[in-house]
Amino acid sequence: MRKFREQLAKNLKKIKGLETQASFAKKLGIGQASLNRILNREQGISLDMLELICERLRVSIWDLFKS
């Protein structure tokens, strides 16, 4: 389970690039504190949130978990 959190965090950081956490969180439709916990692998996310993130970023779920 932790491995999935690590890969998700890594790929979201890559997609985020130099964009601020506040701006990126707004784009994803989640709070900055939640984004921070996800990026630091402290919070898991639901399938509904994964779907929302994929929709907002226009990526597939596989893009968020690929190595």
- What is the pLDDT, as a whole number, of residue 41? 94
How wide is the angle at C-alpha 59 spanned by C-alphas 19 and 13, nearest 5°? 35
- What is the pLDDT, as a whole number, of residue 2? 79
Please report, for the domain that includes residue 52, its CATH number.
Answer: 1.10.260.40
31-55 tens-digit pLDDT: 999 999 999 999 989 999 999 999 9
Give the DSSP H/E element, type plus range, for residue 36. helix 32-39
Provide the Cα torsion 62, 54, 27, 47; round to 10°: -100
Residue 33: domain span: 2-65
- What is the pLDDT, as a whole number, of residue 26? 96
Number of structural domains (the chain) is 1
Least Cα distance to 29 among 52, 9, 58 occurs for 52
For residue 1, pLDDT beyond 70: no
Least Cα distance to 64 among 54, 27, 43 occurs for 54
pTM summary value:
0.90
6-40 tens-digit pLDDT: 999 999 999 999 999 999 999 999 999 999 999 99
